[in-house]
Structure 1
Amino acid sequence: MRFSICRGVSLSMLLALSLASTAFAEPFIVGVATHSMNNSQQPLRSLELAKAAGIASVRDDAFWSTSEPERNQHRIIPLWRAWLGTAKGLDMSSMIILGYGTSYTGNVKPRTPEVKAPYLNYVDYISRQLGSPVKFYEVWNEWDLDSPTDSRLSTDYVKLVRDAAPIIRKNNPQAKVLAGAVTTAGIKGGFVDRMVAAGVFKDADGISLHPYVHCEGADRNTPESWITWLRDVDHSISSKAGKPIALYLTEMSWPSHDGNCGISVVRQSAYLARTYFLVRTLPNVKGMWWYDLINDGDARDEQEHNFGLLNSDLSAKPAYSVLKAISPYVRDFTYDPANSLQKDGIYTLAFTHGSERIWVAWALGRARDVQITAQAMNNRPVTALDTQSADKGMTETQQHWSCNADRCATSVTLDEFPKIIRASPDP
């Protein structure tokens, strides 16, 4: 069933290299970062709330300093096993970060043989002990942060991945090894390019990125400007590698704090919806982990306290309700670039799932009316989900499709909150 919109021009949202990436058949991963693996103040029942929101994967830290506080004295603390067991019981995959240094080495990065050897022992111990519940291992976190443009830093990191990956695969063959966890500064400073040039993708199953833009300034800090930049990053990586490279956005979000770089909790929810649907237009991106599940504190003017989907008391923020409503569509539907259109700040993205068809549509700036067309709707009521009132879910509206033969149309008012409009008969 073909469907279209009556205004706009076609988006060039899919590059030739991205089209080749259809070889990657795994479903898109809706994930979230947590801090509950090491924090008993964040109850593990929060993972049940994550599952209820449609989250399929959780990411947290197996700190080297916690695992080996003294040389050759390795351990797995009970909270780690409880976190892994809870996630497994909820059928959520786990991503474990391997890194951050330990006190007896001076908390330095493993760039010398004297530090690398115990780090690899720690990697061996963790990947043997944690076993099959872990689906992803991320080698370090934001290694580039010290000096994003330093070529020696990136060279040492690629060598570390080359040494760590075989150990992980020997102990945990079903797990994927992710390299990078590269910050926005590292992406812009060439850290990813140098990783790719050094062949990191030969040792890793994918490159992980943390492409935050909330402090990039006006016209560069919205989901729409973000996806334009990320599309260029994706194209650059695949071009330099000579093939599509799987990308994992293991941290991404907007903080909802009062002050510089912050937005309201309501706008955070609109940005979340637009971000998840926009990132589905890039086939090389295999998953995105929202940072993070729970606010880290209650200070409204503190950025680091306000990234979460939930408040610190586990009450839902608007972003949680939106993710719960949209996650089935983000996870299960496939982007249809041929029928996706934009013009003058109006976005209309088409997605399909078997015989089901949906539009995801919104407008930047002022609210505007657009006419949407579909086929064979037989004067049915218009069924839609408005992310501004996400808790209502997909509901029949007072409007009807107006049909002439098998061509049907309806008028929809769009604003900054995406509307998901069913453009095929009810399943």
Structure 2
Amino acid sequence: MTETTRPVLRGFHVLAVALVAAIGVASSSSSAQNAQPLDERILLGVGTHQGLGGPIGGRGYVPSIAVKQLKDLGVTSFRDDFPWSDFEIPGRAFGFNPQLSRLEAQVKSGVGRPVLILGFGHHLVPNSDPPTTDDARRRFVNYATAAALSVAPQRPIFEMWNEYNLGARRNPDFNVENYVALAKAVQPAVKRAVPSAPFVVGVLGDDPGFKWTDALLKTDLLKIADGISIHIYNHCAAPAGRIAAEAIQRLETFQQRVAQATGNPNYPVYLTETGWPTGEAKCSVNEQLSADNMAQIILWSSTAGSWLKGIWIYELKDSGTKLTELEHNFGIYHFDNTPKPAVCSIRESWAFIRTSQTAERTKPVPGVVLIRSQSGAETKAALWSENPTKRFEVRLKGSEPNAEVSHVCQQAPRPAPGAWTELSTTPLLVTAKGQAALDFEIRPAN
């Protein structure tokens, strides 16, 4: 993941009077219309760290615990490292070994579709970090081919390196030309080994102004790739910008660049890292806002076009115990595997939206997002305030006697249909049987 970002902060409009909002009336809207339910169109996953640190690892990841956590969340994928230097050990044939035993156990558990990162240099191979010579690239291709074959039955997705563009900050060899040369050498070998496995390029870390991205898009690499991936964080922005709305806006901007460069509005995009760290570091957010942001981006995914292939939350558990160390606190579980609020938030928001077949996003009043979806015989709506400092009140307009109303993960008594209910960054979920209007009145609460 990447620690810094320079987001474009969004404004917030103050409401002076109560406003009546119908779902079809909005200041902006987007929609997804599909015959398939959402969980058959995209993957929802979580990043793990079984592939780093050898048979034990200092981050505290244990395959049996992680598998249970992933099952409890209901996610459909996980993402992990598949490092060259641990897969090719001197004196041994290519393949899983004690150094990668934790990764092997998780991959072969069948808990979800694995997204595996092919990457990193090898300490015994000259010019390999990154590969810049024909020999280094040949050695990398040999590793990538064997790695792909070793996980073929698990329907893997492969990413080409991790945040390669960030390497340019320390080494000019991490440039677009060397990345493209490596990816073009690896792609045909991996596709021959596992033809059905998507080969995803980019894996972009923080890229102010999309400069590295645009240089990559000017090459012809995306013609042979099966998709492009990006990581989006905003936790080091000003506090008002550490919200899901900003991350979503930047992802949509990225997708528009990709569509324009490829001439394909549905070119596959993978958001393989996003998240909000808790703890006490300068760039941390509180645990409830982190949970709310994750719920919002999951609910939003139902309205994205067919270009979106998946979202992976970073990461499953905290990688350390120091509250002031940013990298220790990205987990949705604490280091000791006790859950943060994000665990319930991810589980409930995904359970609510994963069967959605059609969905529309609107902004019935400035600062409020409303998503209306159809899931078989049910009509659903999700609403929230984009800004943690702005709260509203909402109630169903008209009689919907069969509607069920609740806040994500809040155990308080459910508000009665027709009663005014608080609306904050914690999404409000509404479900009704059959075709229902689900119109709302919304007014400011502060």
- Please report the TM-score for the alignment, with normalisation by the length of structure 1: 0.85
Q: 1:126 aligns with which of 143, 147, 150?
A: 147
Conserved? CA contact 1:32–1:55, under 8 Å:
yes
Aligned equivalent of 1:405 = none
Conserved? CA contact 2:358–2:375, under 8 Å:
no
- Whole-Å Cα distance in 2 between the matches of residues 210 and 249 of structure 1? 6
Aligned equivalent of 2:427 = 418
CA gap 1:102/1:76 in 2 versus in 1, 3 angstroms: same
1:332-368 per-position Cα deviation (integer Å, ceiling 9, x unaligned): 324523x633423111111222232211111233322
Aligned equivalent of 2:379 = 357
Conserved? CA contact 2:227–2:268, under 8 Å:
yes
- Could you say which structure has the higher helix fraction? 1
SS in 2 for 1:105: coil
Give the CA deviation at 1:279: 3.7
- Whole-Å Cα distance in 1 between the matches of residues 154 and 112 of structure 2? 9
The amino acid of 1:161's aligned partner reads A
Aligned equivalent of 1:30 = 44
Aligned equivalent of 1:264 = 286
Give the CA deviation at 1:209: 0.5
CA gap 1:288/1:232 in 2 versus in 1, 3 angstroms: same
- Please report the TM-score for the alignment, with normalisation by the length of structure 2: 0.81
- Whole-Å Cα distance in 2 between the matches of residues 59 and 6 of structure 1? 39
Conserved? CA contact 2:204–2:213, under 8 Å:
yes
Matches within 5 A, 1:27-426: 27-39=41-53, 40=56, 41-45=60-64, 46-70=66-90, 74-78=94-98, 80=100, 83-106=103-126, 107-147=128-168, 153-185=175-207, 188-244=209-265, 245-283=267-305, 284-334=307-357, 336-337=359-360, 340-363=362-385, 364=387, 365-373=389-397, 377=400, 379-380=401-402, 382-389=403-410, 392=411, 397-400=414-417, 411-425=420-434
C-alpha RMSD of the superposition: 3.1
The amino acid of 1:43's aligned partner reads V
Unaligned runs of 5+ in 2: 1-19, 437-446
Give the CA deviation at 1:388: 4.8
- Whole-Å Cα distance in 1 between the matches of residues 260 and 249 of structure 2? 17
- Whole-Å Cα distance in 1 between the matches of residues 27 and 191 of structure 2? 40
CA gap 1:374/1:353 in 2 versus in 1, 3 angstroms: farther
Give the CA deviation at 1:156: 2.0
The amino acid of 1:103's aligned partner reads H
1:368-416 per-position Cα deviation (integer Å, ceiling 9, x unaligned): 21233478x4x23x41331252xx5xx9835135xxxxxxxx6432111
354-363 or 62-71: which moved more? 62-71
Q: How many residues are aligned here? A: 403
SS in 1 for 2:196: coil
1:254-302 per-position Cα deviation (integer Å, ceiling 9, x unaligned): 1112121111112211111112223443222211110100100111111
1:90-138 per-position Cα deviation (integer Å, ceiling 9, x unaligned): 4411111111101012552012213111111111111122222142011
SS in 2 for 1:61: strand
Conserved? CA contact 1:256–1:262, under 8 Å:
yes
The amino acid of 1:325's aligned partner reads E
- Whole-Å Cα distance in 1 between the matches of residues 48 and 62 of structure 2? 11
CA gap 1:61/1:281 in 2 versus in 1, 3 angstroms: same
355-364 or 311-320: which moved more? 355-364
The amino acid of 1:37's aligned partner reads G
51-60 or 34-43: which moved more? 34-43
SS in 2 for 1:347: strand
SS in 1 for 2:118: strand
- Identity, % of aligned positions: 22
Conserved? CA contact 2:405–2:417, under 8 Å:
no
- Whole-Å Cα distance in 2 between the matches of residues 201 and 26 of structure 1? 24
Conserved? CA contact 2:302–2:359, under 8 Å:
no
Structure of higher RCO (CA pairs closer than 8 Å, 6+ residues apart) = 2
CA gap 1:215/1:384 in 2 versus in 1, 3 angstroms: same
